[in-house]
Structures are given as C-alpha cells and as structure tokens.
Amino acid sequence: MVDYEKMPRRNIIVIDMKSFYATCECVERNLDPYTTPLVVAEPNRNGAITLAVTPYMKSLGVASRTRIYEIDPKIKYMTVPPRMKLYVEYSKKVISIFEKFVSKKDMHIYSIDECFLDVTDYLKMYKLDDYTLARKIMKTIKDELGLISTAGIGPNMLIAKIAMDIEAKHNKDNIAKWTYEMIKEKFWPITPLSEFWGIGRRMEKNLNNLGIKTIGDLANYDKKKLKNKFGIIGEELWNHSNGIDLARIGDFNEKPKDKSFGHSQVLFKDYTDENIPIIIKEMVEVLTARLRRHKKKCQTIGFGIGYSAIYGGGFYHSRRLSAPTWDEETIYEMCITLFQKFYEDFPIRKVSINLSSLIDNNIEQLNLFETFEENVKKDELNKAVDEIKSRYGKNSIIKASNLLKDSTMIERNKKIGGHRE
C-alpha cells in the first residue's frame, strides 16, 4: 500500500504541441489544421513514414506514424516535405512563451514539441490555480503562434504526463488534471499496457506473459518479483503504475560537474528498435570495462539517439540510479528503458551513452535487492574477463550476440581511433 501523504505534491503542467510539424505547415500556409488534409513526409517515397498528420487526417483514421502506402487511397491530401529548421524555430518561440510565465529552472524541455513546467511557486503571484494558468499559457501560444496544444496537470511529472496522454485530447479544452487520489480510477484501468508512458511493445508482451494485462495488474503485482525479473526497470514499472515519481524538474537542469565516461557511435546503416539493442549492449560493454579499468562506478546514465538525416533530430535523456554500479547488465537495462521511453520509430544513425556521477570503487552504497556477496561475484567475473581481453586482445572473448549480423563489436575491435590498425 502506497502512502501518498509522503509523496511530493507539486503543481506540474506538461504541454504538448498537437500535431506539431503538420500544424506548423498549416500556419505557414494560413490553413486550418482541423479542416486541412495534410501529411508531413518525404513526398517521393511511397514507403516513407509520416512524421505528422493534421487533426483532420486523424479524424479520418490516419495515425501520426504510418507509411504513405497505408493511407486509404480514397483520401485526398497534400504531402509536404519535413522542414526541421522551421520546426526548431517554432519550438524556440514556444519556449520563449513559457519563459514569460516561469523561470528556466522550473522548465524541462522534454522534446521539440513538449515541455514540463513546475508552476508551484508561481500560483500565488498570478493569483490563479494550475488549471487556469495552463489555459492561459495555451491561449497565448494559440494567439501568438497559431499552434494548438494539449496539457496534463498533476502532483508530479509522471501523473501530469499520463493525464495528458490518456485523457486531455478527449476533453473539450484539451486539458486533464489528475491527483494521487485518482490513481486507482485513472491509472489502473489503462490497457493495453503500451498505452502507458514508458512501456513499449516488447515489455508489454513480457508483462502479459506474467498475467499482467492492465496497469492495475502491474500496480498490485509483487514488487520484488518484478525487480528480480526485469531489474531496475521492474522496480520503476511498479512505482509508475502506482503514480510514484520522485523526480523534480530541477534535477534535469543540473549540469554534471564531475568527470564522466562517454561513448558515441555513428552507424554505417539505418537501425531500428529491432536491432539497435545489440549496438547498445556492445557500447555498454566497452564503457563498463573502462569504469573497472579506472576503478570507478557511476550513478547517472545518459543515453541519446540521433535519427537518419532524412528525418533529423533525436533525443538525449539521463537517469540517476539508486546505487553506484559498474555492472554491465544494470547499465544496459537503464539504457534500454530510456530508449523504449523516448524512441519515435525513425531510422537510427547514431547512439550516445554517457556515465557520470562517478565514485571510487571502494566507496559503495549497496542496492537493497543485492547482497554484498552477489556484488563481489559480479565484480570478480567482470575483472577476469577484462584481464583476459587486456592480455590476449579485445576479440579473445566475445559474446554470442557479437556474432550477429548487426553487431559492430568485432570489426570495431580491429580498429584504432575508428580506423584499421
């Protein structure tokens, strides 16, 4: 049973620009996105994925992310090529409007078209409640830029986000406000699980195999069993299904001052969510070996993706662990969690991982779910592998996954600074 009295109670507003790219194109053409059949995609590629469609196209059953050839041929619409520079300019203008209402320190820019605002300390000054303030901000965006938006409001970032994703678009004013007291009513009936922020199709299938079909099933499942089954991800899933999110917007605005270990890789072909986990696993393997070599452990993991040049953009987000680690599986799990949470279904050409909040190996806070003996066993195994690779070469020990066709590990191990030895 969760004691919500001990949970943070902030006034968080998350605002998302509705059909952002498509609406920008409509505004540029003095068209109404609610009556205009417009699709943003590469016009000469029948297999291209749409980057955005107008609300009017959605009303005809066309999803935001669909291939051109899947659109009903009976629908007459215009296709316009993506203009990322234009969308970035509009995004900057939206951010400037947010800055009229709150300080930068109380903003978290989640993506090009979505932003979290902590308005807790501003309500008295404006003499408004959070709902009215959200409406005021959204009206300003519409009046000044012509863009339409939706908003979620909650006591933490998670609840605000889920309220927006699940309910706001169905409400007349495009706003939904949820509280801790509404978790059972609003969260628990959600199904399929992939409708919930942070649960991808793969995780949905894994949870379904455990008999977990709704968020309520997840919230009432044994937390320790989820942790044992899925590691850090399992613990986070249980917390989120119960509306628990201790992150504060200020946490995302803190710049790391300590040394960090980073690794990025530009890929020689397009990757998708099907084959990118191999690359992530190999990069984590390289980074954790560096941690152990320098006798360091990390507590903050940053993960980023760059999309193919045709689409542009990408994301970079970080997460702080409950305890420092150099364990490969733990860091890989968190990278996959961040990937599944923020990936937008576009072809991938770059992956970046950064490990920070470093501490010396002899200073450690034990994870509640692991014993000291378990940690020692993992460390000894990892050290043995590192020693063999150091003595006999990086390819002296490889994993089965390194032999898969999408792996780049063996080839990269033959290079120095990205070039053949």
Instruction: At 306, list the tokens.
Output: 């760059």
Among 42, 89, 114, 380, the one annotated catalytic: 114
pLDDT (tens place) for every residue of the chain, 421 residues total? 789 999 999 999 999 999 999 999 999 999 999 999 999 998 777 677 888 999 999 999 999 888 899 999 999 999 999 998 999 999 999 999 999 999 999 999 988 899 999 999 999 999 999 999 999 999 999 999 999 999 999 999 999 999 999 999 999 999 999 999 999 999 999 999 999 988 878 789 999 999 999 999 999 999 999 988 887 788 889 999 999 998 889 877 766 556 899 999 999 999 988 899 999 999 999 999 999 999 999 999 999 999 887 777 788 988 888 788 888 988 998 999 889 888 877 889 999 999 999 998 765 444 444 444 555 555 666 666 666 666 666 555 655 555 556 566 555 555 434 433 3
> Is 333 labeled as catalytic in the residue annotation?
no
Cα end-to-end span (Å), the chain: 59
From CA 24, how far away is CA 2, in angstroms rounded? Answer: 43
Structural domains of the chain, ranges and CATH numbers in brackets: 1-187 (3.30.70.270), 188-249 (1.10.150.20), 261-420 (3.30.1490.100)
* Chain centroid offset of residue 48 CA: 23
Nearest to 254 by CA among 121, 58, 128, 108: 108
Other CB atoms within a 10 A radius of the CB of residue 158 amount to 25
Cα-based distances in Å from 100 to 108, 122, 372: 15, 12, 51
Helix, coil or strand: residue 179: coil
